[in-house]
A and B are shown apart, each in its own frame.
Chain A
Amino acid sequence: MILQSATLEPRPVAQNLGAIRITTTETSSLLQRIADGDRAAMSLCMDEYGALVWSICRRAFANAADAEDAAQEAFMSLWRNADRFDSNVASEKTFVAMIARRRVIDLQRKSGRAVTADDITTVSEPAVVADDPAVGIERDEEMRRAVAVLEAMGDPGAMIIRLSVYDRLTHEQIAAKLDLPLGTVKTHIRRGLMAVRETLSVGHESEVA
């Protein structure tokens, strides 16, 4: 006897709470609540960070299906690692972005680079765009500090950082595009990220292990 499977319409999704402003206090506890097994917090997390994660993933893959896969893996990784969130190390938004970036980088590496140097046409544009709330560019304190570091760095360092971190070119691609030695590119990235991280700790003393 041949048995046939049956199917159903998808279950209705949780109510979209995007119109409700989530307070900083609530937001900062989302990952802790997820780590504690709070299912509702997972939906709130999607409300709060869904656009962020999707944007990171969509920009990394030319194929929308690959971007969706990456976004799914990013959220799964976020829920698995929710208990690792430490507000002394990074803001919740930064932690979410970090997790999403890691999954994207890993998937790009496994599937082959999704972005080519020819896809990037921003070399002639400023590496950093100024705050402009009128068009939605409104940065928090962490981001403003990072921008200040990049602006002080100037080119080619700021452009190298942008091409690597935001446009996701490999270091070799950047070296070829800017006609710079690979070692120079890597050094700019290393020192630039170190400078950004240091500025986030302003008011505290960093040290070398």
Chain B
Amino acid sequence: MQPVRWPNDENVQQLLADRATEGLDADAQAQLEALIATSDDFDVDAYDVAAAVVELALMPGAGETMPEALRRSLEADADRFAGEPSQPMSIAPDAPPAPTQTQPRVDVIGRLGRLGWLAAAAGIAIAVFVSLPPAEPTVDERRAQLLATADGVMQLPWKALETERFGGIKGDVVWSTDRQEGYMRIAGIPANNPTEQQYQLWIVDPTRDTEPIDGGVFDVPASGEVVIPIDPKLRAGAPVAFALTLEKPGGVVEHDPADGPLLVIASVE
């Protein structure tokens, strides 16, 4: 490694060492930033590098293989980070299949995309839609069941932030932090063209990183009320708001305000 340029201020040295080992609270972080601003250039990562090498040196082996489900989640994250769009999640009509139906719902199956996050939450296989009466409750039924049976469930009405197109929005978000289960019910917003834009849900949780949690993409058809399960990519331990944006097909890893504003929000008062 190249030689290190150390800060000459011992206070800076200590704050950097603290940051590399236990992190800094907001006051200490502000103090560090203020000191850095008045210091000559030095290697701000030197203590972090040292701590990382020490941890590697103390690890008793090559490490533990990550769970397969985690690997799948990471691959899905990587797809979106790399900008590979998932196929749109289309909303199928909620009509129970007739017992004599012989043709599988090929059109629905053909339009469904790589939604590992949603499948993991709902656990519903494609076979449910093929010439069989539904073995699982509908999304609307699951929403109602959550409202009826879970403690501490939030029910937050939508409010338009962009009123010109979304002023007529109706519906709400139902969310259970304990179960990490929730549902969006939306009506009165413009349909999207899935080849151009998709709606994306964001979950604002101040206990997590500054970026909101990606809650997935969905389409809204030309008419009707949409009820969609929420399955956050990461655990939402203390959500305070749910917001929608319009993004490129497949969604984005982080919302860029330059791409458009928040459209609607459902928030804890």
Contact = CB atoms under 8 A, between A and B. Distances in A.
Interface of A: 1-11, 13-14, 37, 39, 42-43, 46, 50-56, 58, 64-66, 68-69, 71-73, 75-76, 79, 88-90, 93-95, 97-98, 101-102, 105-111, 128-129, 135-137, 139, 142-144, 146-147, 150, 161-162, 164-166, 168, 170-171, 186, 189-190, 193-194, 196-198, 200-201, 204-209
Interface in B142-190: none
Contact of A164 (B3, B22, B52, B89): B22
Given A73-B234, A196-B50, A207 B6 contact: yes
Contact of B229 (A5, A75, A107, A150): A5
A164 B21 contact: yes
B261 interface: no
Nearest to A77: B209
B244 interface: no
Interface string B53-84: 11111111111111111111111111101111
B82 A37 contact: yes
A46 B227 contact: no
B105 to A, nearest CB: 9
Contacts of A205: 3
A4 B140 contact: yes
Contacts of A75: 74, 77-78
Given A11-B116, A73-B209, A165 B14 contact: no
A88 B140 CA distance: 56
Given A76-B77, A150-B54, 19 more contacts: A4-B92, A6-B112, A6-B129, A7-B115, A10-B120, A46-B78, A50-B71, A72-B73, A76-B253, A108-B23, A135-B60, A142-B57, A143-B56, A144-B57, A146-B54, A190-B17, A200-B53, A208-B8, A209-B5
Contacts of A204: 1-3
Nearest to B124: A7
A5 B218 contact: yes
A50 to B, nearest CB: 5
A142 B53 contact: yes
B125 interface: yes
A88 B2 contact: yes
12 contacts: A1-B224, A6-B129, A7-B115, A10-B114, A56-B55, A68-B67, A71-B70, A72-B234, A105-B23, A168-B22, A190-B47, A209-B5
A4 to B, nearest CB: 4
B173 to A, nearest CB: 15
Contacts of B225: 1-3
Nearest to A47: B71
Nearest to B54: A165
A94 B56 contact: yes
Nearest to B114: A11
Given A7-B115, A39-B78, A186-B18, A197 B49 contact: yes
Contact of B77 (A72, A101, A201): A72
Nearest to B183: A5
A62 B72 CA distance: 22
Q: Which 7 A-B pairs have the closest CB atoms?
A: A10-B116, A51-B63, A136-B61, A55-B63, A143-B57, A54-B66, A11-B114
